[in-house]
Chains A and B, each alone.
Chain A
Amino acid sequence: MSHKLASSYLIVEDLSASFANGNGGLNVLDRISFTVEEAEFVCLLGPSGSGKSTLLRILAGLLEYQSGQVLLEGRSLRGPRAGVGIVFQKSNLMPWRTVRENIQLPLELQKELDNRSQADVQELIELVGLDGFEDTLPRDLSGGMAQRVAIARALVHDPGLLLLDEPFGALDALTRERMASELLRIWNARQKTVFMVTHDISEAVYLADRVLAFSDRPARITLDLAINLPRPRLPEMRYTPGFGMMAQQLRAALQS
């Protein structure tokens, strides 16, 4: 067992985190443990305010944790790592940069912006359905469009680990399903590890290899459910009994 743990891509062990506030501190994560294998797609469900974004920020190396440990690729996580793509809960674009400039930012920072990568950028822009809006400023985008820019930006430098915080939150149902399928396609083609927060149970079951459910704050993991639906996932699978069973199980775990 411990041998298997040691070889996992991401290991979170007894992780606790709290925020300082007036009355002694707010415990947000309460001894969380789970592992993620390389190229696995894991979804995290949980009530609002339970600490999902907090966990994601810790995994991104953006937030320090008080106790427990986080091992990413065998090394203890202290600060941000290269090769991680993040979609924040808010789209988080630079208002002075156009759609294209926002998407290019990770390449610019790594000094990898050349003709070839610029072609990739264009491809990504088309992938997220923003062709024609390349030179638009964020102030003139709808919430859903801004979120798609953020998704493209998280993918542009071809990261090995994708951390997604409700990436489809502001999208309509149809776009949401289309983006989910695209995400699956990219994940499939490029062998990425994905850790995604969502509040949509059926989306989680549809996308993930495994779904974690958080309790209310301070968050504990109430269910770690393997989704053994075959790949490729097809939209029709949402209406099979097996799918419904798992969704039901997760709903029960969230309500407990």
Chain B
Amino acid sequence: MKKDKPDRRSTRRGAHTGLILLPFTVSLAILVWYLVVWLGELQPFILPTPGLVMQRFLQVLGNGTLLRHFWVTLGEVLAGLALGALAAIVTGYPLAKSRRLERLLAPYIVASQSVPVVAIAPLLVIWFGPGLLSKVLICSLIVFFPILINTVVGVRAVPEDLHDLMRSLKASRWQIFSLLEVPAAMPVLLGGLRIGATLAVIGAVVGEFVGSDRGLGFLINVGRGQYDVALVFVAVFSLVFMALVLYGLVLLAERRLLAWQQRPKDELI
């Protein structure tokens, strides 16, 4: 027990060293990038220099283009994540509680997962139009499975002894759900949400590639069509930024909601 405290402190220190090193690693990456462009004598439409990308970034930021597309994609991601997570939790809970239901549905759920989302994205765009709805559905499809699995695992992992305690105290079903199952499953569930947050960004871009006239995925398409590789880079970095922010937000929620837990050792994964 005593050992935990220094442990927790040392992981935090580990995170700090990571932050301190960040400027160095980024500078190093930029340096390597410059070297590759110069030594390979690459044309800007193959690989622009970091400076050019920066220039393009400030340009599309200044005229509002970037933010307009950024918000569209973010909206798709958030709506898709919410819808997918909700569907996964609502399906996952009864699945976790009933082995029979699991045996009944598991084959279909697993089979549905072997269909790549990229393959059915065109169908969804045909059925639901090139607007927001099809992207939201693609996002929720892609986040559904990992969150479903984590819901099932989380609910199943609730200690049997605590179930016994609640039953011996004649707790109602709602009390067992809200006072035992929700908090006990929360760590695993949030782990699923963390994975889902990054997957949702991929889902949105896939949807925009297939058919859309807005969003960061659309911007990448435009850049590619015009050999404007700098613009492609700007869009890609924006997507990375979005995924990191979402991931960080879930991490923050974990810190708040799971303060009762020992800090897990694999803090970033």
With an 8 A cutoff between CB atoms, is A139 at the interface?
A: yes
Nearest residue, chain B, Cβ from A84: B168
With an 8 A cutoff between CB atoms, is B260 at the interface?
A: yes
Contact, CB under 8 Å: A80 / B167: yes
> Which residues of A have CB within 8 Å of B159?
92
> Which residues of A have CB within 8 Å of B180?
94
* Chain B nearest Cβ from A35, distance in angstroms: 22
Contact, CB under 8 Å: B1 / A140: yes
Taken together as a complex, chains A and B put the C-alpha atoms of A84 and B168 apart, in Å, by: 7
Nearest residue, chain B, Cβ from A95: B260
Task: Please encode chain B, from 137 to 181, with 1 for each CB lying within 8 Å of some chain A CB and 0 for all others.
Answer: 000000000000000000000010110111111111001000110
Contact, CB under 8 Å: B168 / A139: no
Taken together as a complex, chains A and B put the C-alpha atoms of A105 and B166 apart, in Å, by: 9
* Contacting residues of chain A (51-86) with chain B, CB-CB under 8 angstroms: 57, 60-62, 80-82, 84, 86
> Which residues of A have CB within 8 Å of B172?
109
Taken together as a complex, chains A and B put the C-alpha atoms of A60 and B169 apart, in Å, by: 10
Contact, CB under 8 Å: B162 / A61: no
Q: Which residues of B contact A (CB under 8 A)?
A: 1, 4, 159, 161-162, 164-172, 175, 179-180, 183-184, 260-262
Most buried by B among A92, A94, A142: A94
Most buried by A among B159, B164, B169, B172: B169
Asked if A109 meets B169 with Cβ closer than 8 Å, knowing A94-B183, A95-B260, A95-B261, the reply is yes
* Chain A nearest Cβ from B99, distance in angstroms: 15
* Contacting residues of chain A (78-113) with chain B, CB-CB under 8 angstroms: 80-82, 84, 86, 88, 90, 92, 94-97, 105-106, 108-110
Q: For chain B, what secondary structure do more than half of its interface residues adopt (helix, strand, loop), or is it mixed?
A: helix
| A: interface residue count bin | 20 to 34
Taken together as a complex, chains A and B put the C-alpha atoms of A153 and B15 apart, in Å, by: 39
> Which residues of B have CB within 8 Å of A84?
168
Taken together as a complex, chains A and B put the C-alpha atoms of A141 and B1 apart, in Å, by: 8
Taken together as a complex, chains A and B put the C-alpha atoms of A88 and B168 apart, in Å, by: 11
Contact, CB under 8 Å: B162 / A92: yes
Known A61-B168, A84-B168; further 6 A-B contacts with Cβ < 8 A:
A80-B170, A92-B159, A92-B164, A106-B169, A141-B1, A142-B1
Asked if A62 meets B164 with Cβ closer than 8 Å, knowing A105-B169, A139-B4, the reply is yes
Contact, CB under 8 Å: B162 / A94: yes
* Chain A nearest Cβ from B253, distance in angstroms: 15
Most buried by B among A57, A82, A105: A105
> Which residues of B have CB within 8 Å of A171?
none
Nearest residue, chain A, Cβ from B170: A82
With an 8 A cutoff between CB atoms, is A32 at the interface?
A: no
